[in-house]
Chain A
């Protein structure tokens, strides 16, 4: 047996047993009936999926899409200039890149927790503003959509910057230069030349930010104070306090489907494949 023939065996095993089979089980769960105290029972039914058409759950889906989109757009607005700056900073590139990466590699919980520490009434921002006399009572910074967005953007910004940087770095520097030589003002060069050429990086970054934001559950829970429901919270709630596993499984399948569609669309960009 040659190396090339068995080198894929372990990963096929993992992909089948630990990635494929569990999703198969979740699919089966989503088509069964809810047990009275959790778990699933026969008969088969598609009721969990039809329930998703309820305006209440469509509203949550819409809201999650909206928050994930906002987070992606903010990441793009903050991340594009940063990636461009790093790509143009010559020999300092690696230093900047490591600085972008460093917080990302620290614990997710720690990063979210840091925001509570900063945003609460007796947190850093309010304490500072109060002691400077700029405000007279604490601003309600924590437990709203703004805090959730801040947490999401903070957690996923590096996901956007990295693939975009990779594209910008490979970009032929001669093209923007040619545009400039031909008399195009810098913003116009950016808009007409650099931006279109960096599309694969923007697409990759957007997918990498959007998908985890769509399924986020800890950030809305900790920074949103439980006042907002996103798809991740809905799933978590169905498997715990609501004890409705089929419905939780159905919502999971929908989230997964959206992710898979985005992935498929993304993989159709050949240049995008190079980036992953």
Chain B
């Protein structure tokens, strides 16, 4: 009896988590712009495709997320490895804190940094600043995912490789890194998703060439709810869902 109660509760919670997105996706195919179902249509997808700002935002988001996630993955993986070799409490604390800092505070502080230093460097806010900001907040995610896998790693494997004459670097590259590969790939996807999704921090440090998809979506939502948003959202849901399933597969293998 109790087990069934638990199942019902779990099912209800899952419905709570999924219903809003399902509804959103469903109504992206509605031919009416209102919440009344009038018939199936691709109108809003066509409208979304025809919008140059959306296309540009998507392109910027992809470029930014690709660079930020690659850089953050390299730095975060090395960090996890370094801390596994030799604990660094303060560094770890700083990274955990960066995960818990409210986005608005992170964004404002990075904007302050860029405005302050760029005044002397004659540089502009732009893609670089957004990429730097995204690296800053995604390194901690990468470090945590990779650290989790390192905890299950047998130190003696690397030592054995070194006993057999491998340098520390080649032991890392040939033995440790292959073991970490699934976690590194999962971390990279995580960084990609986190970067692609961010609005608050990006909107603060963005410059001329860095209007991202979430910024365009937010501007559209502010101008009024439109089914084009449903279409964009549905697209994002499907792409992200696929990415996440892929990342889960990688982590399991």
**A contacts, CB < 8 Å to B:** 2-4, 7-8, 10-12, 14-15, 17-23, 25-26, 29, 78-79, 81-82, 84-86, 88, 94, 96, 98-103, 105-111, 113-118, 120, 122-124, 127, 154, 157-158, 186-187, 207-208, 211-212, 214-218, 222, 231-232, 235-236, 239, 248-249, 252, 255-256, 259-260, 262-263, 267, 274, 276
Task: Specify which of B2, B78, B108, B240 is in contact with A26 (CB 8 Å cutoff).
Answer: B108
Interface string of B154-173 (1 = CB under 8 A from A): 00000000000000110010
**B contacts, CB < 8 Å to A:** 2-3, 6-7, 9-10, 13-14, 16-18, 20-21, 23-24, 27, 34-36, 74-76, 78-79, 81-83, 85-86, 88, 91, 93-98, 100-106, 108-110, 112-113, 116, 132-133, 135-136, 139, 143-144, 151, 168-169, 172, 193, 196-197, 199-200, 214, 217-218, 221, 225, 229-230, 232-233, 236-237, 240-241, 243-245, 248, 252
Task: Specify which of B86, B113, B135, B248 is in contact with A4 (CB 8 Å cutoff).
Answer: B86
Chain B nearest CB: distance from A86 CB in Å? 7
A117: B residues at CB distance < 8 A: 20, 23-24, 27, 35, 225, 230
Identify the closest chain A residue to B25 (Cβ).
A114
| Known pairs A102-B241, A105-B240; A7 contacts B100 (CB<8 A) | no
Chain A nearest CB: distance from B137 CB in Å? 9
| Known pairs A4-B82, A114-B24, A263-B100; A122 contacts B34 (CB<8 A) | yes
Query: Which of A122, A124, A216 lies at the interface centre, i.e. has the most chain B CB atoms within 10 A of its CB?
Result: A124
Whether A110 lies near B237 (C-beta < 8 A) is yes
CA distance A23 to B240 in the complex (A): 32
CA distance A98 to B244 in the complex (A): 8
Whether A15 lies near B14 (C-beta < 8 A) is no
Interface pairs (30), CB distance under 8 Å? A3-B81, A3-B169, A8-B79, A11-B75, A11-B78, A14-B75, A18-B113, A18-B133, A18-B136, A19-B136, A85-B9, A88-B3, A99-B18, A101-B244, A103-B17, A103-B18, A105-B244, A108-B197, A108-B214, A113-B24, A113-B217, A116-B225, A117-B20, A118-B20, A124-B35, A127-B36, A158-B17, A217-B103, A263-B97, A267-B93
